[in-house]
Amino acid sequence: MIRILHFIDSLSAWMGKAFAWCIVILTFSTCYEVFVRYVLNAPTVWAFDMSVQMYGALFMMAGAYALSQDAHVRGDVIYRLLPRRVQAGIDLALYILFLGPGALALIYYGYGFAADSWFYKEVSWSSPSRIQIYFFKTLIPVAGTLLLLQGIAEAVRCVVCIRTGEWPARLHDVQETETMLMHEQEDLRELEREP
């Protein structure tokens, strides 16, 4: 089972890291726009729409990656003080009540939006350059599918933790300093509890 969880984690990580390159494209296009607008006095008609689409793609496709790294924002002032089994129960309830229906809505309605957009070869109505957006609307159901798959993996982790009292191993990646310190403190507490 750990192999399957790690495969889902690695799929989410791969997609998140692949779409992280959108930030590089976004940065260069914004710098280019600033240069041609203010230095050459020749603004582009495409830079604003491109930045919106790059940021949207990055935001949508990084959701499953953030979930795989346990990096979503959480009001954990009280949560982190609770026993692991209680944490897992809270997480499982929230995945079932909110993440699952939200991801299914992204898949179901996103597929409809994407299919209509491809059928009409939709372009941006707010853009003077009429940039095509059907490629980017396709990311809605794809992101929903990845988020649902990662949500299932996280729910399995919760069930394992409820049964055993320990969180299953996670593929590690870059972490915030606060998260690393919190894990070190948890490890120290575990060592102090052992006889």
- 114 within a domain of the structure (yes/no): yes
- 180 within a domain of the structure (yes/no): no
- 189 within a domain of the structure (yes/no): no
What DSSP character marks residue 165?
A: S
This prediction's pTM: 0.80
* Distance, C-alpha 35 to centroid of its chain: 32
**Token match 């070190």: residue?**
184
The mean pLDDT value for 27-41 works out to 92
Number of domains in the chain: 1
**Residue 174 above 70 pLDDT?**
no
Domain enclosing residue 101, as ranges: 2-173
Q: Give per-residue pLDDT as tens, 111-157.
A: 999 999 899 888 877 777 777 888 889 999 999 999 999 999 999 99
- What is the rounded CA–CA span in Å between residue 109 and residue 104? 8
Amino acid identity, position 106? L
- 185 within a domain of the structure (yes/no): no
- 11 within a domain of the structure (yes/no): yes
Q: Provide DSSP, 23-46.
A: HHHHHHHHHHHHHHHHTSS---SS
**Token match 């309830």: residue?**
93
**What backbone phi and psi angles, to 5 degrees, belong to 132?**
-70, 135
What does the pLDDT read at residue 176? 64
What does the pLDDT read at residue 97? 96
More confident residue, 141 or 187: 141
Of the pLDDT bands very low, low, confident and very high (cuts 50, 70, 90), residue 47 is confident
Query: Tokens standing for 16?
Result: 């998140």
